[in-house]
Structure 1
Amino acid sequence: MSKPILLFANLCPDTTPFVAELARLKVDYESVEIMSSMANFKRFLKLRDRHPAFEQAKGNGYIGIPALLLADEQVILDVHQLKDIFG
């Protein structure tokens, strides 16, 4: 199984607790800071525009980060779901 991919922004206040929970659960993942390059930002937008997991976030006016992309294309946006998956 390939590593999950964490798409995040350093400026997002939700990133710190999300990363802390991943560390607590000892999840090995690839980090993609979406604001560090245009390529990373476009990668995130492509995922956000096509994946149904982002519909509620977009509907509520949220960006949808941090987002953890799993190998099966599932996207985790809620820190509380991490324990259910990796706990």
Structure 2
Amino acid sequence: MIMPNLYFYSSLCPDTPPFDAVLQELGLECEAIDITESMANLKRFLQVRDTADAYASLRGTLSVGVPMLITDEGDYVFTPDELKACFSKYSQST
């Protein structure tokens, strides 16, 4: 079973709108989770952040680590530039 793209973000984070713009530009479908909308969403994000190797360098830095997309291929994408590069890579391989 292929997992959907999973997008963790905060509606309060200034980095979210530029990331959203690239998601829309690329036409990506994803399950979007606003970590500041509910405790359940925050806990779901913290489980990922506290265990994923992609977050190892962020732990202990007081950086939240959103916005962030986990692709259906399992890649962790943290910036709009990474997002563009990641999905141009996928479109070239198909």
Q: TM above 0.5, one fold?
A: yes
Specify the alignment match of 1:86 in structure 2. Answer: 87
Distance in 2 (alpha carbons) for counterparts of 1:57 and 1:79: 18
* 1:16-63 residue CA offsets vs partner (Å, 9 max, x unmatched): 000101111111111101111111100000000001111223354311
| Aligned-residue identity in percent | 34
| Number of aligned residues | 87
Structure 1 position 77, deviation (Å): 1.0
Specify the alignment match of 1:39 in structure 2. Answer: 40
Specify the alignment match of 2:13 in structure 1. Answer: 12
What runs of 5+ residues in structure 2 fail to find an aligned partner? Answer: 89-94
- Decide which structure has the larger Cα Rg and report it: 2
Distance in 2 (alpha carbons) for counterparts of 1:85 and 1:73: 11
Distance in 2 (alpha carbons) for counterparts of 1:30 and 1:77: 16
* Structure 2 residue identity aligned to 1:8: Y
Specify the alignment match of 2:25 in structure 1. Answer: 24
* Structure 2 residue identity aligned to 1:69: I
Deviates more, 1:55-64 or 1:10-19: 55-64
RMSD: 1.5
TM-score by length of 1: 0.88
TM-score by length of 2: 0.82
Displacement over 3 Å in runs of 4+? none
What runs of 5+ residues in structure 1 fail to find an aligned partner? Answer: none
